[in-house]
Amino acid sequence: MAIVETQAASSWQRTGKHLVFRLEGEEYGFPVLKVQEIVRWTELTRVPRVPDFILGVINLRGKVVPVIDLHVRFGLPPAPVTPRTCVIVLQVPRESGLLVSGVVADDVLEVLDVAAEQIGPPPEFGGRVNTEFIAGVVQADSRVILLLNAEKILDNRDWTFVEKVLEEKEQAHE
């Protein structure tokens, strides 16, 4: 069920088709060009000593792919796994090749065509989600969709730092 777009990426990557999904009752979107596939929720293998928003790793046809819990990443309350829960597998380019990771969605809704003029700037404050993860906001009819920045969400360059902080916390406790 891969839905990878073949059309060339538009110069302004926020426009174009977006995959819209639900998280804690709100709607979010990723550019479909960043979406490799959507897979059903499967059993995860926990990984020790990583930030707590990493739920674990899954076997994606022989490849080992980490899964990120956006609830934790965004500081939202945790949600139970339902039959609608699934993993959106994203791929973002990095210097060393494609970085592939999954994010958990409560429900995947649709692929939506978004025109440039529909997109507003990310809210400066007041939202529930850290604005650095948000690329823009679409307001259509009565819906509000937050377009997410896949690169930022998957970026793991500071995770080792996070790990260190965790460790220090741990040690302070002891």
Interface residue list for another protein (CB under 8 A) = 43, 45-50, 54, 57-59, 62-66, 94-97, 99-101, 156-157, 159-160, 163
Q: Nearest approach, Cβ of 158 to another protein (angstroms)?
A: 9
Q: Nearest approach, Cβ of 57 to another protein (angstroms)?
A: 5
Three-state DSSP class for 69? coil
Q: Which CB, 135 or 154, lies closer to another protein?
A: 154
Query: What's the CA dihedral at 24, 28, 30, 35 to 10 degrees?
Result: 40
Q: Which CB, 56 or 122, lies closer to another protein?
A: 56
- Amino acid in position 23: L
Q: Nearest approach, Cβ of 3 to another protein (angstroms)?
A: 21
Q: Which CB, 157 or 169, lies closer to another protein?
A: 157
Contact yes or no for 56/42 (Cβ under 8 A): no
Structure tokens given for 169: 């916390």
Q: Nearest approach, Cβ of 48 to another protein (angstroms)?
A: 4
Structure tokens given for 162: 């996070």
Q: Nearest approach, Cβ of 34 to another protein (angstroms)?
A: 15
Q: Which CB, 143 or 152, lies closer to another protein?
A: 152
Query: What one-character-per-residue DSSP string does 99-151 give?
Result: EEEEEEESEEEEEEEE-GGGEEPPPSS-SSS-GGGEEEEEEETTEEEEEE-HH
Q: Which CB, 45 or 139, lies closer to another protein?
A: 45
